[in-house]
Structure 1
Amino acid sequence: MKKSTLITTIAFAFVMLLTTNVNAQKFSKLDKSPMDAAAFPTDYKDSNKLIKIVYSRPQLNGRDLATLAPNGKVWRTGANEAAELTLYTDMKLGSTTVKAGTYTFYVIPGEKEWTAIISTDLNVWGSYFYNEANDVARLSVPTSTGESLEAFSIAFDEADNGVNMHLGWGTARVTVPFTK
C-alpha cells in the first residue's frame, strides 16, 4: 500500500508539473551604482525623521570626478535617477524656506564651491531635463577635501538649529546646511 501511495503521489506531481504554466521571472543584473538612502536622525529605530535623501552611488573605478560630475554643469547628485529629497518638516536652505514635501536635489560642482539646488522636478532620470524655472531654493557652499572615497556617499549629522548634509566623492567634500 505504501508503494502504491508513493507512485500515485509522484504521478500526481508529474501531471501537475506538466499542466502548470510556469513563467520564469526575468530579473535585471545587479546595478553598478546601487540605490541608497540617508536620513536624519540616522538611527533606524527613530521614525521621527526630519530629512531623507534617496540616491544612487556611482563608483570612480579609476575615472576622474571632474569627468563624472563636471564643474559648472548641473549634476543629478549620484547616478541614474536624480536624487530625491524628502523634507518631513519645513526647513530652510540658506534664507529660503522649503515646505515639507518631496523634491529633486541637484548640485552644480565647482572647484571652490558647489551650488545645492532643490527643485520641484520629480521622477527625473539624470539631469538632462533640468529646468531652472522649477528651482525652489539654491545655496552655494564651499568645498573641502578629505580621504578619497571610491563610492559617492551622502550622510547627515545634527547642526545648530538644523541638519548638515555631507556629500563626498573622491577627495571632494561638501556640507549643505538645512535649518529649521
Structure 2
Amino acid sequence: MKIRTLKSMFALTLAIFVMSSAAFAQKDKTKRASPPATATGKIGKATITIDYSSPSVNGRKIWGELVPYDKAWRAGANEATIFKTDKEIQIGGKKIPAGQYSLFAVPGTEQWQIILNSETGQWGIKRTGEANRDPAKDVVTVTVKPVKGVMTEKLVYEVQHKGIVLKWENLAVPVAIK
C-alpha cells in the first residue's frame, strides 16, 4: 500500500512539474514559433516603434493563402502589432496624435489598406480566425501599393526616414509618414 501511495505521489509531482514547465515556456515569448521583434527609428522628429511577432515563411505561400486577400490581418502573429509614435505625425494627410495604436492591414493583389486602430493590447485574432479589430476604433486607413521585394523569410518592419516598410516573403509594403 505504501509503495502504491509513493508511486501515486511521484506521478502527481511529475505531472505538476511538467505542466508548470509548459506554463513557464508559454510566458517566454522568445520561445514562440513567431518570436517578438521591434523596429525603431526616426521619421522627422518623431520616434516610431513597431512591436510585432515575426512569423516565418517556412515553405508556405503567404499572400493570398496563409494571409488571405481582402480581409483584415493583424500585420504579424500572436498579439496585434503595436505602432507607437512619441510625436504627432501624418499618415495619408491625416494628423495622428502621439500615442500607441494597433496596426492592421488588408492585403490585396494590387493595393493594401494600412489601418491604425486606437484599441491596443488585444490578441491579434478572434477564435473565428478573423482579425481582432473593432472598425469603429480605426483612427486612419490609408491605401498603399505593395512592390516586389527580395525573398524575406521572417516578417520584418523597417522604420525609414520617409515611413515604414513591411517586408515578408516576396513583397515590400511601404507606408509614407510625415
When normalised by structure 1's length, the TM-score is 0.77
Paired AA for residue 153 in structure 1: V
The alignment yields a C-alpha RMSD, in angstroms, of: 2.0
Q: Distance in 2 between matches of 1:69 and 1:82?
A: 14
Contact 2:46 2:89 in 1 (8 A): no
Considering fraction of residues, name the structure with more helix: 2
Can you give the 5+ residue segments of structure 2 that lack an aligned partner in the other structure? 1-15, 127-131
| Residue aligning to 1:57 | 54
Identity of aligned residues (%): 28
Q: Distance in 1 between matches of 2:89 and 2:150?
A: 30
Paired AA for residue 62 in structure 1: G
Can you give the 5+ residue segments of structure 1 that lack an aligned partner in the other structure? 1-22, 43-47
Paired AA for residue 28 in structure 1: A
Q: 2:84 aligns with which of 83, 86, 92?
A: 86
Contact 2:115 2:138 in 1 (8 A): yes
Paired AA for residue 57 in structure 2: L
Contact 1:74 1:127 in 2 (8 A): no
| Residue aligning to 1:34 | 35
Q: Distance in 2 between matches of 1:61 and 1:143?
A: 21
**Displacement over 3 Å in runs of 4+:** 23-26
Paired AA for residue 32 in structure 1: A
Alignment: residue pair count = 148
| Residue aligning to 1:146 | 149
Query: Counterpart of 1:86 in 2: which secondary structure?
Result: strand
For 1:90-136, what per-residue CA distance to the aligned partner results, in whole angstroms no more than 9, with x for missing partners? Answer: 01110111100011010111111111100011111114331111000
Q: Distance in 1 between matches of 2:75 and 2:87?
A: 22
Q: CA deviation at 1:41?
A: 3.3
Correspondences of 1:1-180 after superposition (within 5 Å) = 26=21, 27-28=24-25, 30-41=31-42, 50-65=47-62, 66-128=64-126, 129-159=132-162, 164-179=163-178
